[in-house]
Homo-oligomer: A and B are copies of this chain.
Amino acid sequence: MRIITTVAKMQEQALLWRQEGRVIGFVPTMGYLHEGHTSLLNTARRECDKVVLSIFVNPTQFGPNEDFSVYPRNACRDIRIAKTAGVDAVFFPTEKEMYPRGYATYVYVKELEKKLCGQTRPIHFQGVATIVTKLFQITQPHYAYFGQKDAQQAILLRRMVDDLNIPLIMRVMPIVREADGLAMSSRNAYLSVDERKQALVLSSALKFFQEQVKKGETSVQKLRKQMEDVIATAPAARIDYIAFVDTKTLEPFEEIKEGTLVALAVYIGKTRLIDNWMI
């Protein structure tokens, strides 16, 4: 497994693989890998000739009061996990390599970037769109793998890839959960033992939602109230949003139908967690 830290070397390797006719699979991450990430790596390993993992905590997708500086990092452990997963190259650049002095170019996806998480994180998705465009140019993937946990990110990046005509296929893989239902996230590391228990309200609210919909409930107003009640059982929980939206446009629905995305963001203490369910 190669560990590559410069853009030039990573791009050279990727373009060489392309010219040799190898199919490249790419898993972009901010590191601190969990089983959600390894499920992406395993799928990439099955579907592609060469697998590239990137580890880069991208400063441009964090707001000024967000957790960039404390975001969990453990490169040694990540590299061990990558090796075990059969990764061919880890791209692990510095901040200066990705955003050199005078850096000025940004990519954004109108409307989509302003919805859901974009309300509380106004520059987040511009940062994501920009770094992912860069990483796609550097790693030249045929397939790129993302987790369904970041539902808005996946929807926005699909739109971006289509719009900018980037020649790759987006693969969005199911959420991987802990045994008790909590969606895997590097940010779960922030939770105290007590908060970890309370964090279950996100997946519980979604489970309750599914049951109600199975029973025939379609009113967003009622379902929202019920989910709020579930979340209110955790004293450390503060709802950022619960959204019932179209899976392409993120426009809100009044009635539940096929193709509704239910997404929620909830603070557990100071930690902001997200989860979602697609009908």
Q: Please give the residue numbers on chain A whose beta carbons come within 8 Å of chain B beta carbons, in ascending order.
A: 7, 11, 15, 18-19, 21, 102-112, 129, 133-134, 137-138, 140, 159-160, 163-167, 248-249
Contacts and interface: CB of A to CB of B under 8 A. Distances in A.
Contact of A111 (B15, B104, B110, B249): B104
Contacts of A108: 105-106, 108
Contact of A105 (B107, B137, B138, B248): B107
Nearest to A7: B165
14 contacts: A7-B165, A18-B18, A104-B109, A104-B111, A104-B159, A105-B109, A105-B159, A105-B163, A105-B164, A106-B107, A107-B133, A107-B164, A134-B165, A138-B165
Given A19-B19, A106-B110, A137-B164, 17 more contacts: A7-B165, A11-B167, A19-B21, A104-B109, A104-B110, A104-B111, A104-B112, A105-B107, A105-B108, A105-B109, A105-B129, A105-B163, A134-B164, A134-B165, A137-B166, A137-B167, A138-B165
> Which A-B residue pairs are the 6 nearest by beta carbons?
A105-B163, A104-B110, A137-B165, A105-B160, A138-B165, A105-B109
- Copy number of this protein in the oligomer? 2
A265 to B, nearest CB: 22
A276 B133 CA distance: 33
A110 B130 CA distance: 13
Contacts of A134: 163-165
A138 B167 CA distance: 8
